[in-house]
Structure 1
Amino acid sequence: MLSALRRLGYLFWLNAWLWSPAWAANYWQEQPLTSEWLQYLQQSEQLRQLDKAQLAAEQQRLGTATILAASKAQHFGLEAITDAAAAEAVMSFQTPSGGWSKRTDMRLPRQPSQHYGSEPRYVPTFDNDATTTQVFWLANFYPKATAEQQARITLSIERAISLILQAQYPNGGFPQSYPLQGGYHDAITLNDNAMYLLLETLWQVSANPNFDMLSSTLRAKAKDSFYRAVDWLLANQINVDGQLTVWAAQHHPISGQPVIARRYEQIALVSSESAKLLELLLDYAIDYPGVSVAVSAAANWLEQKKIVDKRHVRDQDGRLSLIDEPGSHVWARFYDITTGLPVFYDRDGKVYDKVSQLSVERQRGYGWYQTNAASFLKQYQQRKALQRK
């Protein structure tokens, strides 16, 4: 139990945090929070302060007020960890809280008083494959490491999995970033496959021999966390006029209702990220209560929404269009929940029914058409017994 003084200090911080105008889309001030949710927020803030304190300690030790910038790089500047030096460099960018940041070059070791990530609002995060990628890279390299380095890799992976377990909301969902960063980052996030990658990681940690270096207790917790997330998916699959469909890109952390993220990510059903989660359910949880019904309903919806005999192409300026190609199918990334029709959004926040109506910048900078659903439907159609059931 917290002492009275610590509790008072925490409540003072929480009140300031909840009402800070800098935190847009603040889900935490909409209704009174239970003690379980308050404890979750307190834990998040403690970890956020831990990350800040480490940087401050390094500055003090060096006698400098300067914080060095981290370099940007797509996919961390690496394809995999192939040697001991790369493993050490990647581990050096692990935050004290236990995660990694996105779009950050990790080819060279992090220097004292250097940011852990190139984008402050994503330090650390699960967005853009961050944290989950590093866990798999380290586990894959582990057999090649020396005994001394294996011990450090084990500790690094343990810290990362512990962070993922702590990040899970009391209802089973996951935020995009943790410790929490505020705004839409706190939404339960399917976008860019964040939730899919977290569930894939939890399953592999619990079942894959690559993670035998971890304790049985931690692996059991990962398995429990996986099924808690499955329960969240089953409870929040969107029902339209009595029919189960798929999910939205972002859901409210408490209510589970679809929510807006960026202006070009309005409330809508999302095909691609839903399909990845459906593949995962098909592979790992099809016998779990309620999953077969959810998967079959979503498969029917995706089958209905495919754009038949079309392929999406870009011109030299990045403009998107659909061309005829017999046998090829695509899906719009977003579908209006009410009408079920494809929808597209620009930075003005307006809704458009044709991708050609978007600015060239948004046509070029976003994947408005996707094909992930084809892979899921192919696997689903091979499960004849499931379809009959």
Structure 2
Amino acid sequence: MKRATRFMVEKAAYNGGYVWSYTADFSRRWGELEAKPSMVWVQPPGTPTMGHLFLDAYHATGDDYYYRAAERAAEALIWGQKPSGGWNYFIDFGGPASTRDWYETLGKNAWRMEEFQHDWGNATFDDAGASEAMQFLLRLYVEKRDPRWKPALDRAIGFVLESQYPVGGWPQRWPVNPKFEGDYTGYITFNDDVAGENIKFLTMVYQALGDERVLDPINRAMTSFLVTQQGQPQPGWALQYTPDLKPAAARSYEPRALATHTTATNVEQLMTFYELTGDTKFLARVPEALDWLDKVKLKAPRPDGRTHPTFIEIGTDRPLYVHRRGSNVVNGEYYVDYSPERTLGHYSAFRKIDVAGLRARYERLKATRPEEASRHSPLKARNLVPLPRYFATRDLVTSDLNVHAQRGGSAPDPEAVSKLVAGLNAEGYWPTPLVATSNPYRGEIPPARPDGDYATTHVGDRTDTSPYPAKDPPLGISTGAYIQNMTVLIDWLGERR
């Protein structure tokens, strides 16, 4: 564990921060897109996730080296914290000119990565980056009550409170400052669990700090799930809503529609809200949503087990399918129809939703008295509630496009632990196939006419800088693999004690 951590801290890190993956010679590196050497990633599993892991390792070993590594990660995050108190997807220590150059080259040419095609200039709640950074700063502060971390934590709390709409939801980006055509980032957002993550953070603030300012925002946020659920005969949810609570479109491949996976996630959240509050209003319309999910499911599961179309047309319950034509940011476009053939490769047209499991949880909660269901709620605790000692891979996203998150819970397998110990190479990292790669920016102007068929691929022509699966992935350094492997070893230490 120490050798692997020394490699990450002393060779992979830049100013205490991390991206998602690196070639073995460090000649290239990636977050969700290719990154400059001066950049570190906030979006998981980047710098905040590494900070969580370091705190976990510190708790497991008592070794101060891990705590110092967590401090360096926090320093990187604080350097890149926006005046609003939030974060962008990444931090560029090269300064504004370097960031501008990245957006005008690698970001601008990433056809399917529309959120990276220009610099919005504000902070984002998307993809749990801000949430994970805020949770990490809170953990670090309460660990030793070191006052160095309090100002940044206070700014982060302020970011969540000040950006909340009166109805209780949050925009995807804030401060809201529309300046690009088709800007959707000021809409109330459920996509990627923006609201759920903010409620989780504010709940952690209350349980760890006893800050009563967050109670009304938490309650308003939970209520926003109720007021955005559509009425019969389509009691589901959309990915995002206009400020006057109408379902709205977002990126070119996210049409105005109801979303089955978002509906399932929001049903899960409503049941969690019942456990937090004991208020039966959060269970009242769950059966309607579950019945609707059963109604719109596919006639038969797909070979990969997916059970539902992603998007459902408002007013008809017909599945909507997104397609694309062209080859790059200049000649390419997305469009929607009713055909399930040749759908996007990079954004699934189908989802696997366990409606039976959701219904079983609902029935358990319905049979549980409100005071019993909420008995362990941190919102009802009379005293401060300690935060969990371990976070990484328990409730965090650690997929860096090369490895996929594995949730903890089962006891470590001795053979697997032995393989991890033996698999650490002489340099101090676990060689991992870098499945995700991208075309380097070559300075070419994207051609005005398509040069092939890219309807179902992750990447377009040679000018497209979007990530895609490599045919012959080289071995390299994966931040996600480091986090997952360290967590197995941390669990093993726990089992031995």
1:379 paired residue number? 361
Residue identity in the other structure for 2:290? A
1:341 equivalent in alignment to 2:341: no
Residue identity in the other structure for 1:196? G
Percent same amino acid among aligned pairs? 25
* CA offset digits 1:329-388 (Å, max 9, x no partner): 522221112221321123545322233233xxxx221132223555644522433527xx
Q: CA deviation at 1:156?
A: 1.6
1:80 paired residue number? 50
Between the aligned partners of 1:234 and 1:248, the Cα distance in structure 2 is 13
Residue identity in the other structure for 1:93? G
Q: CA deviation at 1:296?
A: 2.3
Flag the 1:205–1:272 CA change in 2: closer, same or farther, 3 A.
Answer: farther
1:271 equivalent in alignment to 2:271: no
Matches within 5 A, 1:263-302: 263-285=252-274, 287-288=278-279, 290-302=281-293
Matches within 5 A, 1:349-388: 349-358=334-343, 363-371=344-352, 373-374=354-355, 376-385=358-367
Structure 1 stretches of 5 or more lacking a match? 1-67, 311-321
1:91 paired residue number? 78
TM-score between the two structures when normalised by the length of structure 2? 0.51
SS state at 1:366 partner? coil
Flag the 1:364–1:329 CA change in 2: closer, same or farther, 3 A.
Answer: closer
Structure 2 stretches of 5 or more lacking a match? 1-35, 55-69, 104-115, 325-332, 369-497
Q: CA deviation at 1:87?
A: 1.6
Contact 1:271 1:373 in 2 (8 A): no
* CA offset digits 1:131-161 (Å, max 9, x no partner): 111011222334555x5xx213222222111
Between the aligned partners of 1:380 and 1:122, the Cα distance in structure 2 is 42
Q: CA deviation at 1:98?
A: 0.2
Q: CA deviation at 1:127?
A: 0.9
Q: CA deviation at 1:266?
A: 1.2
Q: CA deviation at 1:308?
A: 6.2
1:195 equivalent in alignment to 2:195: yes
Matches within 5 A, 1:169-188: 169-182=165-178, 183-188=183-188
* CA offset digits 1:252-309 (Å, max 9, x no partner): 11x1011122222111111212322221221123643632212222122223333365
SS state at 1:337 partner? coil
1:234 paired residue number? 226
Contact 1:344 1:351 in 2 (8 A): yes
Flag the 1:227–1:372 CA change in 2: closer, same or farther, 3 A.
Answer: farther
Flag the 1:125–1:276 CA change in 2: closer, same or farther, 3 A.
Answer: same
Between the aligned partners of 1:122 and 1:95, the Cα distance in structure 2 is 9
Root-mean-square deviation over aligned CA pairs: 3.1
Contact 2:259 2:311 in 1 (8 A): yes
Flag the 1:197–1:170 CA change in 2: closer, same or farther, 3 A.
Answer: same
Flag the 1:382–1:101 CA change in 2: closer, same or farther, 3 A.
Answer: same
Flag the 1:176–1:90 CA change in 2: closer, same or farther, 3 A.
Answer: same
1:153 equivalent in alignment to 2:138: no
1:39 paired residue number? none
Between the aligned partners of 1:87 and 1:303, the Cα distance in structure 2 is 45
Between the aligned partners of 2:265 and 2:38, the Cα distance in structure 1 is 31
Q: CA deviation at 1:204?
A: 2.8
Q: CA deviation at 1:196?
A: 2.2
Contact 1:305 1:331 in 2 (8 A): yes
* CA offset digits 1:196-242 (Å, max 9, x no partner): 22222223323x3xx32xxx4xx322221121122222222111xx3
Contact 1:244 1:294 in 2 (8 A): no
Q: CA deviation at 1:186?
A: 0.7
Contact 1:187 1:252 in 2 (8 A): yes
Between the aligned partners of 1:297 and 1:246, the Cα distance in structure 2 is 8
Q: CA deviation at 1:85?
A: 1.1
* CA offset digits 1:36-66 (Å, max 9, x no partner): xxxxxxxxxxxxxxxxxxxxxxxxxxxxxxx
Flag the 1:221–1:281 CA change in 2: closer, same or farther, 3 A.
Answer: farther
Flag the 1:352–1:282 CA change in 2: closer, same or farther, 3 A.
Answer: same
Contact 1:331 1:373 in 2 (8 A): no
Mean Cα displacement is larger for which, 162-171 or 294-303? 294-303
Matches within 5 A, 1:43-58: none
Between the aligned partners of 1:203 and 1:143, the Cα distance in structure 2 is 15
Flag the 1:230–1:181 CA change in 2: closer, same or farther, 3 A.
Answer: same
TM-score between the two structures when normalised by the length of structure 1? 0.64
Tell which has more relative contact order, 1 or 2 (C-alpha 8 A, sep 6+): 2
Between the aligned partners of 2:348 and 2:248, the Cα distance in structure 1 is 20
SS state at 2:308 partner? strand
Contact 1:306 1:329 in 2 (8 A): no
